[in-house]
């Protein structure tokens, strides 16, 4: 299969998956008890009105429903959402009716993407050398230390690390790095470290396993027999070949990191996609919630597609 055909097929798959995601999540939200008008913010305003002036109340509700298409039959609402999301016409949110969702996302999406990509990058930069060391010093104390650390990084979720970081840099080492807010380059450091910790573990473990397996292969034995020195053998023949397999972990890791991002943003008070999602979900803001789910899903799937393409390009053994 040619690359173009493969990419086309995958894009069609991604679109179908996104349509399914929008449908499933919209139907679930549609049937959820409560709605935006019953959520905490609106209820305080509207509940008294319902008793005092029922006519006005119904008028407001009607206007609200027709504005967001809530008076249409469910299947038409779903189709409307699918069409609007896929054409990137996100409309307005319910919380800020005057603000376009696309404007709101223009600020938050780059922040979350920066955090996610930065942490994946950092985890590769640190995880790969750790994995190589562990593989070469297999079954020695170095290997055990690296394995335990990477297991610990994997076990402790990003939000727990984040609160520990806030404690460390907010209380113990006050003033070195900022622990809340967003603005300067310094604000990026702590969240990225928290997000990368889990991935470092995964990358290191995977690299270790992959390198050990590669070093057992026949061509390594041949290289050894031919008299290739140890380090060139390890790096040129071993690491280079096990690195290509590493690329496949990045896809799932990215998905994992994106979810970590929305947690870490809560702790560090970073105005990213996580904050947008949180306010959307807790106040039943359907357009915003669906849009954030759509964006997260498409981000993850597009990265997965890119990973597959890169993998096929650099490893001639892989066929698309």
Partner 1 sequence: MASSAVIKKSDAVVKKRTFHRSPFYQGWKRFKNHKLAVIGMVWVVLFLIAGIIGPYVAPYDYRSGDFLAINQGPSWQHIFGTDNVGHDMFSQILYSVRSALIIAFGATVVSFVIGIILGLWAGLRGGIADMIIMRAVDFMMTLPGFLFALILVILLGRGYTSLILAIGIPGWAGYARLIRSLVLGMRDGEMVEAARALGASQAHIARRYMLPNVIGSMGVALAFGIPGDLTQIAGLSIFGMGLQPPIPSFGNMIAQASDNILGFPWLLYFPAGIFALTLLAFLFVADGLQEAFSPKGGN
Nearer to partner 1, 244 or 278 (CB): 278
Distance CA(273)–CA(2), nearest Å, equals: 36
Cβ(294)–Cβ(82) below 8 Å: no
Whole-angstrom Cα distance, residue 320 to residue 310? 11
Asked whether position 164 contacts partner 1 by CB under 8 A, the answer is yes
Residue 277 CA to residue 263 CA, distance in Å, equals: 10
151 near partner 1, judged by CB under 8 A: yes
Does 154 interact with partner 1 (rule: CB under 8 A)?
Answer: yes
> How many residues at the interface with partner 1, by CB under 8 A?
46
Asked if 256 touches partner 1 (CB under 8 A), the answer is yes
* Torsion angles phi and psi, residue 185, rounded to 5: -65, -25
Q: At what angle do helices 3-30 and 74-86 cross, to 10 degrees?
A: 140
Chain-centroid distance, C-alpha 142: 32
57 vs 281 by CB, closer to partner 1: 281
Decide if residue 157 touches partner 1 (CB under 8 A). yes
From 19-27, 54-62, 95-103, 110-118, give the range in contact with partner 1 by CB under 8 A. 19-27
240-268 and 186-215 helices, crossing angle to 10°:
150
Q: Does 170 bind partner 1 (CB under 8 A)?
A: yes
The alpha carbon of 31 is separated from its chain's Cα centroid by a whole number of angstroms, namely: 27
Binder to partner 1 among 7, 79, 156, 318 (CB under 8 A)?
156
DSSP lists the bridge partners of residue 244 as: none
Out of 195, 258, 270, 307, name the contact with partner 1 by CB under 8 A: 258
CB 3 within 8 A of CB 320: yes
Q: What crossing angle do the helices spanning 286-314 and 240-268 adopt, rounded to 10°?
A: 160
* Interface stretch with partner 1, choices 26-34, 61-69, 117-125, 221-229 (CB under 8 A): 26-34
- Select from 25-33, 81-89, 91-99, 189-197 the region that touches partner 1 (CB under 8 A): 25-33
**Closer residue to partner 1, CB minimum distance, 122 or 267:** 267
Query: CA end-to-end span of the chain, whole Å?
Result: 6
Euclidean distance between CA atoms 191 and 166, whole angstroms: 10
Of the candidates 6, 23, 25, 69, which one interacts with partner 1 according to CB under 8 A? 25
Handedness of CA 185, 187, 190, 194 (dihedral sign): negative
Of the candidates 177, 259, 312, 318, which one interacts with partner 1 according to CB under 8 A? 259
Q: Which of 262, 270, 273, 295 binds partner 1 (CB under 8 A)?
A: 262
Q: 108 or 304: whose CB is closer to partner 1? A: 304
Query: With binding defined as CB under 8 A, does residue 222 bind partner 1?
Result: no
CB of 225 to partner 1, least distance (A): 27
Burial class (CB in 10 A: 0-12, 13-18, 19+), 275: middle
List interacting residues with partner 1 (CB under 8 A). Answer: 17, 20-21, 24-25, 28-29, 31-33, 148, 151-152, 154-157, 159-160, 162-164, 166-167, 170-171, 255-256, 258-259, 262-263, 266-267, 277-278, 281-282, 284, 289, 293, 296-297, 300-301, 304
């Amino acid at each position: 299969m040619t690359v173009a055909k493969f990419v086309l097929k995958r894009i069609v798959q991604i679109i179908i998956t996104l349509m399914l995601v929008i449908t499933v999540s919209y139907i679930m939200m549609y049937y959820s008890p409560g709605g935006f008008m019953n959520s905490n913010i609106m209820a305080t305003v509207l509940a008294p009105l319902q008793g005092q002036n029922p006519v006005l109340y119904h008028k407001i509700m009607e206007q609200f429903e027709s504005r967001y298409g809530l008076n249409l039959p469910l299947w038409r609402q779903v189709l409307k959402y699918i069409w609007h999301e896929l054409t990137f016409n996100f409309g307005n949110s319910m919380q800020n009716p005057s603000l376009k969702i696309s404007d709101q996302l223009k600020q938050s999406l780059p922040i979350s993407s920066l955090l996610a990509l930065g942490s994946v990058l950092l985890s590769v930069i640190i995880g790969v050398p750790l994995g190589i060391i562990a593989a070469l010093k297999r079954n020695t104390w170095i290997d055990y230390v690296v394995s335990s650390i990477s297991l610990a990084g994997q076990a402790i979720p990003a939000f727990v690390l984040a609160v520990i970081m806030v404690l460390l840099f907010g209380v113990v080492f006050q003033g070195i790095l900022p622990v809340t807010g967003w603005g300067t380059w310094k604000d990026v450091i702590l969240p990225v470290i928290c997000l990368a910790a889990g991935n470092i573990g995964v990358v290191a473990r995977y690299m270790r396993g992959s390198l050990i397996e590669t070093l057992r292969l026949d061509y390594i034995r041949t290289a050894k027999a031919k008299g290739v020195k140890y380090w060139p053998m390890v790096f040129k023949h071993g690491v280079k070949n096990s690195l290509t397999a590493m690329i496949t972990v990045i896809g799932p890791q990215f998905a994992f990191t994106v979810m970590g991002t929305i947690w870490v943003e809560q702790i560090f008070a970073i105005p990213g996609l996580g904050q947008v999602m949180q306010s959307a979900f807790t106040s039943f803001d359907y357009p915003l919630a669906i849009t954030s789910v759509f964006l997260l899903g498409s981000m993850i799937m597009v990265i997965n597609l890119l990973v597959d393409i890169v993998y096929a390009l650099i490893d001639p053994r892989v066929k698309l």
